[in-house]
Amino acid sequence: MTGQGLPTGRSSRLDNKLVLITGAARGIGRACATEFAAEGADLVLLDIAADIDGCPYPMGTWSQLRHTAELCRGYGVHVTADRLDVRDSAAGSRIVERVLDEHGRIDALINNAGLAAPSGKPLHEVTDEEWQLMLDVDLTGAFRMLRSAVPGMIRHGAGSVVNIASTAGMVGYRHFAGYVAAKHGLVGLTKAAALDYAPLGVRVNALCPGSVRDDPELEGRMLGEIARSLDLPVAEHEHTFIAAQPTNRFVAARDVAKAALWLASDESRDVTGAVIAVDGGFSVR
């Protein structure tokens, strides 16, 4: 396990923590899972593991989710993997109840599941169904998981929720109204929930990644799909986006995962309601 996208050693910053991650089959979700496993966290890995009607590109698969789980077990932690569509409130609640029965607590929830499309057109061409799908997954999915997981965290007197938003939660992107609105909503949800739960020991923060490189080891594909939505050849899209990055490079999924790791750990115990860009300076100019 020595590849570019995966951690190389074992440490203990999350020993004895139980972490739930949505959208864990590939990409940033897999990067989070492996980083967390390498720091000793036991994991519940969730993904729809099936394609979504109305989304023009394939979702993660069951075999990708199982592969993430196997990579994590390689670090010696306890891992379960389940199918979950974050649009299904009842199924999300059942999984949370089962985890609480089995483990007694959930220390951290990483709301990572998300779609970048249907997108790539001006908003007057967006149908009700397309708008609804984007909000249902990218905003309401996180709301549902938060609502299910927080009561157990409150009983335990501690917990950390990390919402994987986007720079699209901080600034606009042309022809991505649904995605931008959903991610701005997720940032707002983060701030409101942080205030609801700060006195109860539960922290809620958001990460806003910039353009994350599609790492073959992690099998993420969002950047390529954004290019496809814009009818851009991937190489041209990469050129355009790198030119907008003050650091002149894409963000690595692993760097997003390391920020999530810090937010999930007790090292960030006074941080709540924060909206942290992991974007190479993209959003400050």
Ligand X SMILES: NC(=O)c1ccc[n+]([C@@H]2O[C@H](COP(=O)([O-])OP(=O)(O)OC[C@H]3O[C@@H](n4cnc5c(N)ncnc54)[C@H](O)[C@@H]3O)[C@@H](O)[C@H]2O)c1
**Would you count residue 142 as binding ligand X (CB under 6 A)?**
no
**Would you count residue 153 as binding ligand X (CB under 6 A)?**
no
Q: Which one of residues 18, 79, 108, 115 is an interface residue with ligand X (CB under 6 A)? A: 115
**Would you count residue 28 as binding ligand X (CB under 6 A)?**
yes
Active site residues: 179
**Would you count residue 27 as binding ligand X (CB under 6 A)?**
yes
Sheet of 79-83: strand order equals 79-83, 42-47, 18-22, 108-111, 159-164, 202-209, 275-278
Q: Taking contact as CB under 6 A, which single stretch among the options 73-81, 191-199, 221-229, 264-272 is the one that binds ligand X?
A: 221-229
CA distance 101 to 193: 25
Would you state the structure tokens that stand for residue 279, as one six-digit string?
């974007």
Place of tokens 């997003």: 256
**Would you count residue 268 as binding ligand X (CB under 6 A)?**
no
Other Cβ atoms closer than 10 A to 232: 16
CA distance 193 to 272: 9
**Would you count residue 205 as binding ligand X (CB under 6 A)?**
no
Nearer Cβ to ligand X (154/171): 171
In this structure, are residues 34 and 72 in contact, taking their beta carbons and an 8 Å threshold? yes
**Would you count residue 222 as binding ligand X (CB under 6 A)?**
yes
Residue 8 makes CB contacts below 8 A (sequence gap 6+) with 1, 2
Would you state the structure tokens that stand for residue 257, as one six-digit string?
């995962």
Q: Taking contact as CB under 6 A, which single stretch among the options 2-10, 83-91, 119-127, 190-198 is the one that binds ligand X?
A: 83-91
**Would you count residue 106 as binding ligand X (CB under 6 A)?**
no
Phi-psi region of 16 (alpha: psi -120 to 50; beta: other; left: phi over 0): left
Q: Taking contact as CB under 6 A, which single stretch among the options 99-107, 127-135, 147-155, 209-217 is the one that binds ligand X?
A: 209-217
**Would you count residue 164 as binding ligand X (CB under 6 A)?**
yes
Q: Can you give the binding site for ligand X, defined by CB under 6 A?
A: 22-23, 25-29, 47-48, 59-60, 84-87, 112-115, 137, 141, 164, 166, 209, 211-212, 220-223
